[in-house]
Amino acid sequence: MGLDDKLVRKKLEVLLKDELLVQKYLRVYGPKLDMNNINKIKQDQLKAAPDGAAGDKDDPTYIIKVKCPVCNQADLACYEAKAKSLTANLDKFLVPRYTGVKPFRTVNYTLMAVTVCPSCLFASPDKKDFLTFSVQARAENKSQLSPFVLEDLRKKVDERKALINSPDFTAYFQHPRNTEAAINSYRLAIHRALVEASLETPLAWYKAGMYSLKIALLLRDGGKPDDPVLKDAAGYLAKSFQQSELKNPEMEYQLVYLVSALYLRLEDQAQCQNYLGVLDKMKSELTKAAKDDPGITTAHVDRWLDKAKELWTDRETPDLWKH
């Protein structure tokens, strides 16, 4: 994007006050200012957005239109959170609960985070997995998923449809989305992640585990048991650690903490202690290396080791897992 294009974008942000409208303007009219076109975009938005719909001034989300990389279904609504519109309070498994930051209202972004193609049920909370349009390049961005993964997903449409009991997938996954539909959107995302894992795609096991933790929170909020899903999450995340999926050391310490916390919650104290031992060993190795290299610190591993030990110490506390 050239200097002039950036200037046009900044002016559009001031005039339209909505990232979605800025993107739509640039996609339709290009990087040229025209007040007639700006007013037309505003009027079209007012006609299209009913009360409470995305586009309200206090709505912390905006919509990006994406295309399914599996079946090429176009104009899928991908809900993104506006910058600094929501704060996230993390539970013991690092799953966020969202609160609106004034002037934005509070929404449960977890309910809408997964974009689902109603034609083939490809699902992901990551817009980069879809085909997106680049305003700057005036071209379509490819999915970050490999052609091998996408081909395998094309062969498994019937598998995904068998997971969801609904005669109308468009209506079922529409917004506002209910808890059951949100849970099933993550189940579909897990299906995709496991296809990725079967083809040794980086971070596939980790993604499956983190999606499972989102389902568990939704189940708990609905007063339903979450143990089976937490067991799945522990298995996926343990596999992620065994496969060394996370190349960032701090993220790996966090991963080991998560697995230890999950096994503690599942009352498998032996496995919990095993992963506590892994964190202890990581700290010992760093402490030893720091003697020869003053630039090495144990601060990050200390953080997650302390959190894991705190859970272990408080394991008999009745409300330990309440959020």
Nearest CA to 24 among 125, 116, 133? 133
- Per-residue pLDDT reduced to its tens digit, 34-58: 888 888 877 766 554 433 344 578 9
Gap between the Cα atoms of 144 and 165, Å rounded: 29
Residue 155 phi/psi, 5-degree rounding, is -80, -10
pLDDT value at 276 more than 60? yes
Binned at pLDDT 50, 70 and 90, residue 16 comes out as: confident
Q: What is the mean pLDDT of residues 287-294?
A: 89
pLDDT tens for each residue of 61-120: 999 999 999 999 999 999 999 989 999 999 999 999 999 999 999 999 999 999 999 999
Q: Residue for token digits 């957005």?
A: 49
Give 294's pLDDT tier (boundaries 50, 70, 90): confident
Identify the H or E element spanning 66.
Answer: strand 61-66
**Would you say residue 218 has pLDDT above 70?**
yes
Alpha helices in the chain (DSSP H): 3-16, 19-29, 35-48, 147-154, 157-163, 169-172, 179-198, 204-221, 227-242, 249-265, 269-290, 299-313
Residue 211 has pLDDT above 60, yes or no: yes
Inter-CA distances, 64 with 22, 115, 297, Å: 11, 10, 41
| Cα-based distances in Å from 192 to 129, 135, 139, 196, 246 | 10, 28, 26, 6, 19
Q: What is the pTM of this model?
A: 0.83
Contact partners, residue 150, CB within 8 Å, separation at least 6 = 69, 70, 143
Q: Distance between CA atoms of 143 and 122, rounded to whole angstroms?
A: 12
- Quick: pLDDT tens for 219-274: 999 999 999 999 999 999 999 999 999 999 999 999 999 999 999 999 999 999 99
Where helices occur in 199-226 by DSSP H, the ranges are 204-221
- Tell me, what's the pLDDT at 3? 47
Residue 76 pairs in a beta bridge with 66
In degrees, rounded to 5, the angle at the alpha carbon of residue 224 between the alpha carbons of residues 218 and 230 is 65
